[in-house]
Amino acid sequence: MTITRTELLEMIRNGENSGVEFKRDDVQSHDLAKELVAFANLEGGIVLLGVEDDGSISGITRQKLEEWVMTACRDKIRPGLIPFHALVKDVEPGKDIAIVRVARGFDVHTLWHNNKNAYLIRVGTQSREPTPQELGRLFQQRGSFRAELRPVSGATLADLDMRRLKNYFVNIREQDVPDDNDETGWNTLLFNTEIMVEDGVTVSGILLFGRTPNRFLPQAGIDAVAFPGVNKEYAARERCALRGPMTPLSDDAGEIVEAGLVEQALAFVQRNTAITGQLEEGGARREEIPAYPREAVREAIVNALVHRDYLLSGTDIELSIYEDRMEIISPGRLPNGITPARMLTGCRAARNQLIKDVMRDYRYLEHSGMGIPRKIVKCMKEHNGTEPGLVEEGELFTIRLFR
C-alpha cells in the first residue's frame, strides 16, 4: 500500500491513534522498536518519522535512515520484523517524512533491550506492557489464526514471481488472468485466492510463488546432506541448501523449465543414491533399480513442505541421506491430534490448507489424502519389503525410508 502526500497530510491532521504514531527521526532505536512491537502485537500500524507529537513536521535529518530502521527491527525485536519503509519527499518545502509500517505479527513479538524481553501492546495512542490477562489473550489470539494466511511483513506483489503466477492460473487452473500491468486486477485475483490479504502477501503466497522466499521467511527451504556412513559426519559427500518457491515453472507443453523445491530435492536424492541393475526375466535387457522408489521419496518431500509448521523459524526441513536410510525431518508437531498410527490409516488434517490445495493442483498430492499408505508404505513394501518409520519427537516429525 503506497501512501500519497495528500493521504499522509490527512493522516497527520487526524493525529495519533491505535495504528499511527509520530516520532522525531532522532529517537533511540529501542524507542522505535517499542512502537513497532506494540503495533505488530495488535493489528499492525505506522510510525511516521519526522513528525512531532503535536503533528508539526520536523523532517528527516538522520543519515542512512532506512538502514538504521532495518537494523533496529532486526536487533531490537524478537522475533525480528521486516517493515515496509518509504520516504515521502517535500511534504513541506525541504522536509521529508519516512513511513515505517508493520503488519500484524506472525507471533507475539517482544522488545529486546537491556538484555531482557519486554511484551508490549497498543492501547489507543499508548504502547505499554500488557497485564497477565491481556498477554494470555494475545497468545491465544495468535494461536487461533492460520499461520499460512498471515501477511508477510514487507512483502508486496512485486515480490511474487509473475511467471509462476500466470503459469498456475492459466495452465494449471485454466482461467483468464489480468494484463501484466493491471495491478488492481492482480491484487483482486490474489486476494480472492488467499495468496494476498489486505496487508500484503500471505505466508503461503511467498512460499509457493515468491521470487526469493528466504528473504522474508528464512525457514522456507530444505537443508540437504548426503553422508558416507550411517551417522551424521562432518565430512559429508554433499551439502546443499535448497531454496526458491515450492512451485515449478513449466512451458506451454507442461515441461518443467525451472525447478521448484520438490524437483530440487528429487535431483539431490538422485545424484546421491546409487542405481543398481539386474537383467529382466529372459536376460534380454538390463533393468535399473533406484535405491529408493521415486514416488515414495517424492511423497515424503511433498508432505514435509506442505505440513511443516512455518511459525518455527529457527530451522529448515532436513533431507539426510545415509548409507542405509533416508530421513526427511519436518519442523513442528503433527496437527489436530494426528498421530503416526492414524497417518497410516489415511487420517487427514492439514495445517496449511492453501499450500496443500495448490500443491494438489500441481498433482503433487492425491485428492484422497492417502499419500502415506498408498504411496510411501505401498511403494517401500513393493520395493524392498520394508516399512517406513514415522516418528514424532518433540517439535519434529521424521519420515524414515530404509534402503
Query: How much is the pTM?
Result: 0.65
Look at residue 122 in the predicted model and tell me its pLDDT: 94
Percent of the residues in the chain that have a pLDDT greater than 70, as a whole number: 92
pLDDT in tens, 46-92: 999 999 999 999 999 999 999 999 999 999 999 989 999 999 999 99
| Confidence grade of residue 141 (pLDDT, cut at 50, 70, 90) | low
The one-letter amino acid code at 13 reads R
Q: Is the pLDDT of residue 395 over 90?
A: no
Report the pLDDT value the prediction gives residue 4, as an integer from 0 to 100.
86
Q: Which residues of 98-133 are buried (b: 16+ CB within 10 A; e: fewer)?
A: bbbbbbbbbbbbbbbbeeeeebbbbeeeebeebeee
51 residue type, one letter: V
Q: Which stretch of 98-102, 181-185, 374-378 has the lowest confidence by average pLDDT?
A: 374-378
Q: pLDDT, tens digit, for every residue of 347-387?
A: 666 778 899 999 999 999 875 567 788 889 999 999 999 99
Give the whole-angstrom CA distance, residue 207 versus residue 209. 6
**pLDDT at 194 > cutoff 70:** yes
In the chain, pLDDT over 90 holds for what percent of residues? Answer: 68
Q: What is the mean pLDDT of the chain?
A: 89
The three three-digit cell numbers of residue 283, written as one number: 536376460
Mean predicted confidence (pLDDT) in 1-19: 90
Q: Is the pLDDT of residue 140 over 60?
A: no
Nearest CA to 154 among 103, 197, 188, 89? Answer: 103
CA neighbor of 357 nearest in space, from 248, 217, 208, 254: 208
